[in-house]
Protein backbone atom coordinates (compact mmCIF):
# COMPACT_ATOMS: atom_id res chain seq x y z
CA UNK A 1 0.00 0.00 0.00
CA UNK A 2 1.29 3.45 -0.96
CA UNK A 3 -0.22 6.69 0.26
CA UNK A 4 0.92 10.20 -0.61
CA UNK A 5 0.80 12.01 2.73
CA UNK A 6 1.79 15.40 1.34
CA UNK A 7 2.23 16.28 -2.34
CA UNK A 8 4.96 18.88 -1.78
CA UNK A 9 5.28 22.51 -2.75
CA UNK A 10 7.79 24.60 -4.66
CA UNK A 11 6.58 28.20 -4.79
CA UNK A 12 8.51 31.01 -6.52
CA UNK A 13 8.17 34.77 -6.62
CA UNK A 14 6.62 36.30 -9.77
CA UNK A 15 10.00 36.66 -11.49
CA UNK A 16 10.85 33.04 -10.65
CA UNK A 17 14.15 34.22 -9.21
CA UNK A 18 13.53 33.27 -5.59
CA UNK A 19 11.92 30.33 -3.82
CA UNK A 20 9.23 31.53 -1.42
CA UNK A 21 8.16 28.19 0.01
CA UNK A 22 9.55 24.69 -0.32
CA UNK A 23 8.58 21.38 1.23
CA UNK A 24 9.00 17.91 -0.27
CA UNK A 25 6.39 15.29 -0.87
CA UNK A 26 6.04 12.65 1.84
CA UNK A 27 5.07 9.08 1.01
CA UNK A 28 3.93 6.27 3.29
CA UNK A 29 4.46 2.68 2.14
CA UNK A 30 3.25 -0.38 3.98
CA UNK A 31 4.71 -3.64 2.74
CA UNK A 32 4.11 -7.08 4.12
CA UNK A 33 7.13 -6.62 6.43
CA UNK A 34 7.55 -2.88 7.02
CA UNK A 35 6.08 0.56 7.44
CA UNK A 36 8.20 3.06 5.51
CA UNK A 37 8.26 6.84 5.06
CA UNK A 38 10.01 8.29 2.01
CA UNK A 39 11.21 11.84 2.72
CA UNK A 40 9.91 13.69 5.76
CA UNK A 41 9.66 17.21 4.28
CA UNK A 42 10.37 20.61 5.82
CA UNK A 43 9.71 21.61 9.44
CA UNK A 44 6.66 23.57 8.20
CA UNK A 45 4.93 20.22 7.52
CA UNK A 46 5.53 18.68 10.98
CA UNK A 47 1.97 19.13 12.24
CA UNK A 48 0.51 17.85 8.96
CA UNK A 49 2.56 14.68 9.31
CA UNK A 50 1.51 14.14 12.90
CA UNK A 51 -2.14 14.66 11.97
CA UNK A 52 -1.93 12.14 9.11
CA UNK A 53 -0.79 9.41 11.52
CA UNK A 54 -3.47 10.33 14.05
CA UNK A 55 -6.15 10.23 11.34
CA UNK A 56 -4.91 6.87 10.01
CA UNK A 57 -4.50 5.44 13.51
CA UNK A 58 -0.87 4.56 12.84
CA UNK A 59 1.67 4.81 15.64
CA UNK A 60 4.69 6.79 14.42
CA UNK A 61 6.90 4.60 16.59
CA UNK A 62 5.92 1.65 14.37
CA UNK A 63 7.67 3.12 11.31
CA UNK A 64 10.59 0.79 10.51
CA UNK A 65 12.41 2.88 7.91
CA UNK A 66 12.70 6.48 6.79
CA UNK A 67 14.21 6.71 3.33
CA UNK A 68 15.72 10.07 2.36
CA UNK A 69 15.96 10.55 -1.41
CA UNK A 70 18.77 13.05 -0.74
CA UNK A 71 20.03 15.19 2.11
CA UNK A 72 18.39 18.60 1.53
CA UNK A 73 16.57 20.18 4.48
CA UNK A 74 13.20 20.24 2.71
CA UNK A 75 13.31 16.42 2.47
CA UNK A 76 14.77 15.38 5.85
CA UNK A 77 13.71 17.92 8.47
CA UNK A 78 11.15 15.72 10.21
CA UNK A 79 13.23 12.55 10.45
CA UNK A 80 13.22 13.01 14.23
CA UNK A 81 9.47 12.24 14.39
CA UNK A 82 10.21 8.59 13.66
CA UNK A 83 12.19 7.61 16.73
CA UNK A 84 12.43 3.87 16.04
CA UNK A 85 13.04 4.07 12.29
CA UNK A 86 16.32 3.25 10.64
CA UNK A 87 17.33 6.14 8.38
CA UNK A 88 18.19 4.99 4.87
CA UNK A 89 20.01 7.22 2.38
CA UNK A 90 22.53 6.93 -0.43
CA UNK A 91 25.33 5.81 1.88
CA UNK A 92 23.47 2.79 3.29
CA UNK A 93 20.56 2.01 0.97
CA UNK A 94 21.74 -1.58 0.49
CA UNK A 95 20.91 -2.16 4.16
CA UNK A 96 17.17 -1.84 3.50
CA UNK A 97 15.75 -5.29 4.01
CA UNK A 98 12.44 -5.47 2.22
CA UNK A 99 11.91 -7.60 -0.90
CA UNK A 100 9.07 -5.31 -2.06
CA UNK A 101 11.31 -2.22 -2.23
CA UNK A 102 14.05 -1.45 -4.73
CA UNK A 103 16.29 1.60 -4.47
CA UNK A 104 18.14 2.97 -7.48
CA UNK A 105 20.71 5.71 -7.78
CA UNK A 106 19.42 8.79 -9.65
CA UNK A 107 22.21 11.39 -9.42
CA UNK A 108 22.24 14.83 -10.97
CA UNK A 109 20.24 17.05 -8.65
CA UNK A 110 22.71 15.89 -6.00
CA UNK A 111 25.32 13.18 -6.24
CA UNK A 112 23.58 11.30 -3.40
CA UNK A 113 20.11 11.20 -4.98
CA UNK A 114 18.22 7.91 -4.86
CA UNK A 115 14.73 6.89 -5.96
CA UNK A 116 12.47 4.29 -4.41
CA UNK A 117 10.57 1.72 -6.46
CA UNK A 118 7.53 0.05 -4.93
CA UNK A 119 4.92 -1.84 -6.92
CA UNK A 120 3.81 0.40 -9.80
CA UNK A 121 5.39 3.57 -8.34
CA UNK A 122 8.74 5.28 -8.26
CA UNK A 123 9.36 7.99 -5.70
CA UNK A 124 11.87 10.22 -7.42
CA UNK A 125 12.68 12.92 -4.88
CA UNK A 126 14.28 15.84 -6.69
CA UNK A 127 15.57 13.74 -9.57
CA UNK A 128 12.14 14.89 -10.80
CA UNK A 129 10.91 17.67 -8.51
CA UNK A 130 8.04 18.67 -10.83
CA UNK A 131 5.82 16.82 -13.28
CA UNK A 132 7.15 19.01 -16.10
CA UNK A 133 10.66 17.69 -15.49
CA UNK A 134 9.42 14.34 -16.82
CA UNK A 135 6.92 15.68 -19.35
CA UNK A 136 9.43 18.06 -20.97
CA UNK A 137 12.56 16.03 -20.11
CA UNK A 138 13.97 19.10 -18.41
CA UNK A 139 16.59 18.87 -15.65
CA UNK A 140 15.67 20.12 -12.17
CA UNK A 141 16.30 23.84 -11.66
CA UNK A 142 19.04 22.95 -9.19
CA UNK A 143 21.58 20.32 -10.19
CA UNK A 144 25.23 19.43 -9.69
CA UNK A 145 25.62 17.65 -13.03
CA UNK A 146 23.34 18.36 -16.00
CA UNK A 147 24.13 15.18 -17.93
CA UNK A 148 23.58 12.98 -14.88
CA UNK A 149 20.33 14.81 -14.08
CA UNK A 150 18.98 14.28 -17.60
CA UNK A 151 20.07 10.63 -17.62
CA UNK A 152 18.31 10.07 -14.29
CA UNK A 153 15.11 11.63 -15.67
CA UNK A 154 15.24 9.33 -18.69
CA UNK A 155 15.89 6.32 -16.47
CA UNK A 156 12.90 7.17 -14.26
CA UNK A 157 10.62 7.75 -17.26
CA UNK A 158 11.76 4.53 -18.97
CA UNK A 159 10.47 2.45 -16.03
CA UNK A 160 6.89 3.35 -17.04
CA UNK A 161 5.66 3.69 -13.47
CA UNK A 162 3.58 6.28 -11.65
CA UNK A 163 6.06 8.92 -10.47
CA UNK A 164 5.83 10.55 -7.07
CA UNK A 165 7.66 13.80 -7.74
CA UNK A 166 9.70 15.68 -5.18
CA UNK A 167 7.36 18.69 -4.97
CA UNK A 168 4.41 18.24 -7.35
CA UNK A 169 2.37 15.19 -6.43
CA UNK A 170 1.99 12.09 -8.60
CA UNK A 171 2.49 11.95 -12.34
CA UNK A 172 0.54 8.91 -13.49
CA UNK A 173 2.02 6.81 -16.28
CA UNK A 174 -1.10 7.45 -18.37
CA UNK A 175 -0.12 11.14 -18.42
CA UNK A 176 3.22 10.72 -20.17
Greatest C-alpha distance within the chain: 47
What domain count does the chain have?
A: 1
Please, are residues 128 and 134 in contact by the beta-carbon 8 Å criterion?
Answer: yes
Determine the structural domain holding residue 117 and report its residue range: 2-175
Distance from chain centroid for Cα 32:
21
At residue 82 the predicted structure's pLDDT band, cuts being 50, 70 and 90, is very high
- DSSP secondary structure code for residue 104 in this structure: E
Render pLDDT for 103-162 as a digit per residue (tens, 0 to 9): 999 999 999 999 999 999 999 999 999 999 999 999 999 999 999 999 999 999 999 999
pTM: 0.96
Render pLDDT for 17-65 as a digit per residue (tens, 0 to 9): 888 999 999 999 999 999 999 999 999 999 999 999 999 999 999 999 9
CATH number for the domain including 126?
Answer: 3.60.15.10
SS3 111: coil
Amino acid sequence: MLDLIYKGILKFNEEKTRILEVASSVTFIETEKNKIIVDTSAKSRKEDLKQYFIDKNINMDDINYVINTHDHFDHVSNNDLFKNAKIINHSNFKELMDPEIEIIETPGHTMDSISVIYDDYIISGDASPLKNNILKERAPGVFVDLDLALNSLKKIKSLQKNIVTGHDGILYKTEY
